[in-house]
Amino acid sequence: MFFFKKKEIPLTDFFTNNFVDIHSHLLPGIDDGAKNIDNSVELILKMYSYGIKNFITTPHVLGDVYPNSSETIKSKLEEVRTALKNKGYSDIKINAAAEYMMDEQFIDRLKANDILTLKGNYILVEMSYFNAPMNLYDVLFDIQLKGYKPVLAHPERYNFFHNDLQNYHKLKKAGCLFQLNLLSLTEQYGKNVQKISNALLKQNLYDFVGSDTHHKNHLQLLKKIGTQKNLKKIKHLLDNNSKVFN
């Protein structure tokens, strides 16, 4: 039965020199990601060993839990850049945006034009895992009214949408772009999330991918996606990241 074994391939086959990871938590001590600057560098260098050299890292901006200002994020970014430079990694390119919870504080930031975009007018947004905001479609409309494009982080992880895939089609029609978490190709978030991610891939609803790296365990698990089958499934998304965010 050995001929049924999945053909494993290195992650360097997934991540070309131009690939940009647009979702991660690599800035030190400001959310549930990297704990300190040494941890930040450790995570980045592990990803570097997988072939990822370009990052737009996205700390949480979430009410009173992670009330990160744009200034805080930029300051932490410079700290990381300096640490990488001091270690001689001149070929690593790292920028920072944010993963914005679509809450009242986000609406205030939007009104004040205090938004860190992934690039150009792309904003990474998320919602609670318990339920969608009651005014979700109003928020998406307001984002676009301001000239931005909403990129919804890990849509496959919102369980309240799982019973009816039309929810996802409705979001797409409302102008929402979708970012797949790479670990959703594994059972990391549960079999149901894995199943939904495959369904959304088959329906060609995703636009981009991201690692959503928080810690070393995520990067150990990421090696599990290294199969020819997975590469074939997401090659167009990896290419989209390269084209749009370089």
The answer to whether 152 and 179 are in contact (CB under 8 A) is yes
Dump pLDDT digits (tens) for 33-86.
999 999 999 999 999 999 999 999 999 999 999 999 999 999 999 999 999 999
What phi and psi, each to the nearest 5 degrees, are found at residue 237? -75, -40
| Neighbouring-strand partners of residue 21 | 55
Q: Does residue 236 fall inside a structural domain?
A: yes
Residue 48 counted as domain residue: yes
Q: Domain containing 38 — which CATH number?
A: 3.20.20.140
Q: What is the pTM of this model?
A: 0.96
Encode pLDDT of 122-175 as tens digits.
Answer: 999 999 999 999 999 999 999 999 999 999 999 999 999 999 999 999 999 999
Residue 109 lies in a domain: yes
Tell me whether residue 7 is in a domain.
no
2 falls within a domain: no
How many other CB atoms are found less than 10 A from the CB of residue 67?
A: 12
Q: What is the pLDDT of residue 7?
A: 77
Is 5 domain-assigned?
Answer: no
d(CA 50, CA 17): 11
Residue-wise pLDDT tens digits, 3-20: 445 678 999 999 999 999
| Number of separate domains in the chain | 1
Alpha-helix residue ranges (DSSP H) falling in 50-121: 70-86, 104-111
Q: Is residue 138 domain-resident?
A: yes
DSSP notation for 151-194: EEE-GGG-GGGTT-THHHHHHHHTT-EEEEEGGGGTTTT-HHHH
* Domain-embedded: residue 3: no
Confidence class for position 188, pLDDT limits 50, 70, 90: very high
- Domain of residue 39 covers 12-245
Provide the mean pLDDT of the chain.
96
Residues in CB range of 183: below 8 A, 6 or more apart: 189, 211, 212, 218, 221, 222, 225
